[in-house]
Every structure is written in structure tokens, then in C-alpha cells.
Amino acid sequence: MRAFFPFNPLRWQDFFRITIAATLAVNFLPRAGCSPVAAAVTKGDDRWYVVLFDEQPVGYERVQCRNPMSNAAVVPSDTQPLGIDEASRGTTGRNGGTIRDEIRWECFRRTEIKLRRMGQDLSLKATLRVQQTTGGELLSFHLQRTDGEGNRIEREGALQPNGTQFSIREKVFAARREYEQSVPAHCFSPIVSSWVGRLMRSEERRQILPVFFPETVSASDLRFDHHQPRQIRLRDGRALKASRITMAPEADLTNVTTFFLDSAGEVLRQEKRLLGGTLAIEACDAEAGLSAVAGKSLDLDAAAPIPVDRLISVRAGQQQIVVDLVNRNGLPVIIPSTRTQQVEVIDAVTTRITIAYGQTEAARTDAGGKDRAVEIRESQWMPLNSAEIMQLATIAGGGQSGKIDVCHRMERFLSSKMQRAALSPSILPAPEVARTMRGDCTEHAVLLAAMMRVKQIPARLAGGLIYNPQSFGFVGHAWVEAWVDGHWESFDSTVPANARRPVYIKLCDTDLTEDGSNGLSLFLPVLSLTGDAEIHVVAD
């Protein structure tokens, strides 16, 4: 048995938080060839999980991974190279040589838990970024954690060329420290589920592997035992046959975490006994994950400004504005390049955005536009046969026949007729908005897009950031993009007709065709930035 524990004994509250964090550290990471269950809850590289205590939702986790060499989100697998790890050159590999040619990938995990137990606030927020080889060996980490009492820890470490030491820098409360921490050779990443599925393919039914946990700056030998499959029932009612792998530290074999995996090695659920209850993690969609801790706090997060280092001044005849979006501690956000914004990745945390401003309407279009047919699809949010929508579209469109003119008339009509409401990421169906004529940017956007669609103009919702000088920063916002004359054109009925064009940063778009969606997908990139990002003006 090998273990390295540099700290004094903890209060039980701290132990519980760290135990939760360590349990969550073995959370799920996307891989190529998703199982049907995993595919059902995955959008690209972005995965969400609900944290349960005695089957009651108490928190969520969001996991993303990417290739740091290309700034592209990726799904790692045994056969998919993700880029060479410059930091690991010369480090000893598991085959006895160097891992000069080992591949690395980056995983970002955000955790939020709201839980009271035994009269104590055991809540925590944490962000962990790790770099590891495709085989699962840990190369570097960056952890930030804040508990329910407001205590904050920031810790980062990188594996040294000898492969048995991490150089660590940390700030615990107000104290800063730098030191070397010895670890076993070939120490594995705490995100165990990125490699635990491979144990299923091994002929060995039991393996003992060293795993490093940044929360405690400790490495321990963990025993993994492969058991016979068992039937499990997920929260959505599905009963599935799952393989079982148990994990326990050699120093305490009663402290067991159980993984339930499908035939492809994907983790369906993990659970462990803790403080007289069961802590479990199960895959879900974004709405279910956030609802475990959100409510009105989610609305406030979406409305919270991303600060700017100085005011942005917009002058007559101005052609462009250049800003750097710095996201030091958050999850990676892939920002699209369009004709209105050109994106350049400066480094791992900085993205430069050149925003076109003051151009003609024809130039303010999406670079992804091509001469192609765009389908007009109906959804519960934007029905095509709604009497309320058709009446508004007819009145607002007037006698115009040109699509661009119709869109502009509808934009001005809603700008003058709708009453404003406080920002909320949830979206009401367009007919309901038409009846009340009240809402925030999301209601403006869904109604405007619906009116365009009933006039046979393809339209979608765009989400991102808008500059608000009163808030001294950028805030979450939604607007409309319509397909006219072979390109996507932007329209925003929240802006008064005679006002100066705002400064936008587009992050995503959606057709709102998913019946189960509540529009939250528009604000997920914004939530990834809130509280972690800042914007620096390079040129205006």
C-alpha cells in the first residue's frame, strides 16, 4: 500500500466535502462510440450529471473535454489522437521508456452541490481542469473549490520529468505555498471513468492502481474488482443490465465506490455509502442537472455581467471592435467565427474576437451561410398554425413582399409593442407571448422568429452576449437570425428602432425544435463564463 497525506486530520464537515469531491472526481468523461444511454444525454462533447443523496437531487456536474492543440471539442478514445503533450516530454512512461509521444487531452469539470446534513452546510462549488494521457495517466491539474462557508482553495500541479513528483502551487484561504509532492510512478487521473471501462477488457479480474486526488494532494493505491453483471434501474425508469466494477482504497477496503457500466464500457451510474446515506451520480440533460441547484439563482447567473476592463466607445463610422475574452477558471467555450466576428485563440484561456461594426445590412451576416434550402420546422415553441402568430405576422409585415423588408417591419413592430420583463433563461411558447406581449429577450426572440416562420422565412434563435454600459460589462442575450437572400441576417426587437446598434458576441444558435428543451441551451455558454470570465478591450 502506498499513500501520501500531507495534511492534518480534518473536521468531519471538511472530510465529507472532500469525500464528495473525491467521489465526484471519478465522474464520467465522453468517449467515442457512445452507448445509446450516453448518446441520449450528450450534446457533442458536453455532458451533464445529476448528483443524488438518497436519490434526492442535490447538485450537478458538467464535463467537457477538448483537444488543447486545436481549441476544438473532442471525444477521446483509444484510437483517436488528440495532440502531443509538450509538458510531458522526457517523463517516464508505463512501458519503461519516455512518454515523449504520448497523447494528452484536457478535461474540464464543474461541480455544484447544495446539501445540508446534520445541521451543517456541506455545499461546495468546484472547477477541475486536468491534462492526462489517453491511457489515463495524470500530467497536470488545476483545482478551484469554494465550500458553503466561503472558504476557497486554489491548487495547481504539473508532473515533473522524473514521473514521481508534482510541482504544486496553492492558495488556501490567504496562505500561498509552493512545494514538491512525491507520488507513485504512473499515477492515474482522478477522473477514473475516463479509463475504468478499459478494465472490463482486461483478463485480470482485480487490479491495483495508484490514483492522485488534487483535493487532498494525495495518491493512494485503489483496488478495482470486476464483478458479474447486474440489473439496475435508472431514474427515468429504464431497467438495464450493467457490468459492475468496485473501487476501494487498499488502506480501507470497506470504503467502496461501485461503477455500473454498459457493454461499451460507459458508466451509467456510480454510487457509494456515505454518512448513513447513498451518494450517487447519474447522467442527465442540462435542465435536470441545473434544476438540482438552480431556480431563480440560474436566472441571476444568466443576467450577471461579464466585466469589461474599460468602457467601449462606439463612434460614427466605426468598422470594428477587438476584445479578448479571458476565461481563466471556467469550462471551455467554443466561439464561432461569423462575418460579424472573427475568432482567434491566443492561448489556453484567451480568445480574441474581432467584432465587425457599422457595416451594411448585407455584410452583417453569418459566415456559415451558403446557397442552400433551409427547412422551416414546427415545434411546440413556434407552431406554424397558431392564429395569434399568423394575425400578428400579417399586421406587422404590412404589405411588404421582400423578405428582408418583412423582417425589419416585424422587428420594429415588436420593439414598439412589447413590454419588457426581467431576464430568465426559460422560454414561453410564442402563442403565449403573443397573448401577453410581454417578456425579456428570449420572449422577443421566440415570438419574432415564429412570426417570420409563418411567413415562410426560416428563422432561428441566436444566443450570446450583448454589451451593456449600464452594467459595465457583457450580459447574456438572445436575438433572431433569419435566412434571407442566401445568408443568416440578425434581428433584435429588444433594441429601439432609432438606437445605435449594440455590440454582440455570438456563442450559439438553436432551431428550438426539441420538444423537451426549455431554451436553456441558449444560455449554457453564458453560464460557463459567468463568474469566471472577463473581457479586455484591445481596440475600439
| pLDDT for residue 24 is more than 50 | yes
> Do residues 286 and 310 share a domain?
no
Q: At which residue does the C-alpha cell 484591445 appear? A: 538
Please tell me the predicted confidence (pLDDT) of residue 57.
Answer: 87
Confidence of residue 87 (pLDDT cuts 50, 70, 90): very low
d(CA 357, CA 363): 10
> Do residues 197 and 274 share a domain?
yes
Helix (H, G, I), strand (E, B) or coil at 422: coil
> Do residues 57 and 101 share a domain?
yes
> Do residues 358 and 282 share a domain?
no
pTM score > 0.85 for this model? Answer: no
Helix (H, G, I), strand (E, B) or coil at 381: coil
Domain assignment present for residue 452? The answer is: yes
408: which 3 cell numbers? 425589419
Confidence of residue 417 (pLDDT cuts 50, 70, 90): very high
Among 244-248, 253-257, 312-316, 343-347, the minimum mean pLDDT is found in 312-316
| pLDDT for residue 385 is more than 80 | yes
> Do residues 535 and 396 share a domain?
yes
> Do residues 526 and 378 share a domain?
yes
Among 62-76, 135-149, 322-336, the minimum mean pLDDT is found in 62-76
User: What are residue 476's phi and psi, to 5 degrees?
Assistant: -60, 140
Confidence of residue 302 (pLDDT cuts 50, 70, 90): low
Confidence of residue 16 (pLDDT cuts 50, 70, 90): very low
Last residue of a domain, which of 253, 271, 294? 294
Confidence of residue 505 (pLDDT cuts 50, 70, 90): very high
| SS3 readout for 181-212 | EECCCCCECCCHHHCHHHHHHCCCCEEEEEEE
Amino acid at 198: R
> Do residues 360 and 279 share a domain?
no
Domain assignment present for residue 313? The answer is: yes
Answer yes or no: are the C-beta atoms of 492 and 506 closer than 8 Å. Answer: no
Last residue of a domain, which of 294, 309, 328? 294
Among 155-169, 368-382, 442-456, the minimum mean pLDDT is found in 368-382
Measured CA to CA in angstroms, residue 212 lies from 185, 188, 190, 517 at distances of 11, 6, 6, 38
Average pLDDT over residues 38-54: 61
> Do residues 58 and 107 share a domain?
yes
Answer yes or no: are the C-beta atoms of 68 and 49 closer than 8 Å. Answer: no
| pLDDT for residue 105 is more than 70 | yes
d(CA 442, CA 539): 30
| Of residues 530 and 439, more confidently modeled | 439
Answer yes or no: are the C-beta atoms of 342 and 460 closer than 8 Å. Answer: no
- Strands 257-261 and 267-274, sheet pairing: antiparallel
331: which 3 cell numbers? 469550462
List the domain range (segments joined by +) for residue 486: 298-539
| SS3 readout for 153-165 | EEEEEEECCCCCE
186: which 3 cell numbers? 504512473
Helices (H) and strands (E) in the chain, counts: 9, 29
Average pLDDT over residues 249-254: 88
Please tell me the predicted confidence (pLDDT) of residue 256.
Answer: 92
Please tell me the predicted confidence (pLDDT) of residue 518.
Answer: 54
Confidence of residue 178 (pLDDT cuts 50, 70, 90): very high
| CA nearest neighbour of 307 among 503, 535, 540 | 535
Tens digits of residue pLDDT in 420-457: 876 665 678 899 999 999 988 989 999 999 999 999 99
> Do residues 481 and 358 share a domain?
yes
Please tell me the predicted confidence (pLDDT) of residue 75.
Answer: 36
CATH code assigned at 411: 3.10.620.30
Domain assignment present for residue 4? The answer is: no
Answer yes or no: are the C-beta atoms of 127 and 144 closer than 8 Å. Answer: yes
Q: Give the residues across from 103 on adjacent strands.
A: 84
Measured CA to CA in angstroms, residue 403 lies from 266, 359, 398, 406, 452 at distances of 48, 20, 12, 5, 9
Domain assignment present for residue 7? The answer is: no
Please tell me the predicted confidence (pLDDT) of residue 4.
Answer: 37
Domain assignment present for residue 1? The answer is: no
d(CA 68, CA 73): 9
d(CA 211, CA 278): 23
> Do residues 302 and 279 share a domain?
no
DSSP secondary structure code for residue 388 in this structure: H
> Do residues 378 and 304 share a domain?
yes
| pLDDT for residue 102 is more than 60 | no
Helix (H, G, I), strand (E, B) or coil at 14: helix
| pLDDT for residue 358 is more than 70 | no
Tens digits of residue pLDDT in 454-504: 999 999 999 999 998 888 899 889 999 999 988 899 999 998 877 777 899
Q: Which helix (H) or strand (E) holds 446?
A: helix 441-454
Average pLDDT over residues 4-20: 41
- Strands 419-420 and 438-439, sheet pairing: parallel
Confidence of residue 244 (pLDDT cuts 50, 70, 90): very high
Number of domains comprising the chain: 2
How high does pLDDT run on average in the chain?
77
Domain assignment present for residue 459? The answer is: yes
Give every CB contact of residue 190 below 8 A, 6+ residues apart in sequence: 22, 25, 26, 128, 130, 138, 141, 211, 212, 213, 214
Helix (H, G, I), strand (E, B) or coil at 287: helix
Radius of gyration of the chain from Cα atoms?
25
Confidence of residue 519 (pLDDT cuts 50, 70, 90): low
> Do residues 117 and 248 share a domain?
yes
Last residue of a domain, which of 267, 294, 321? 294
Domain assignment present for residue 151? The answer is: yes
| pLDDT for residue 115 is more than 90 | no
| pLDDT for residue 295 is more than 80 | no
Domain assignment present for residue 423? The answer is: yes
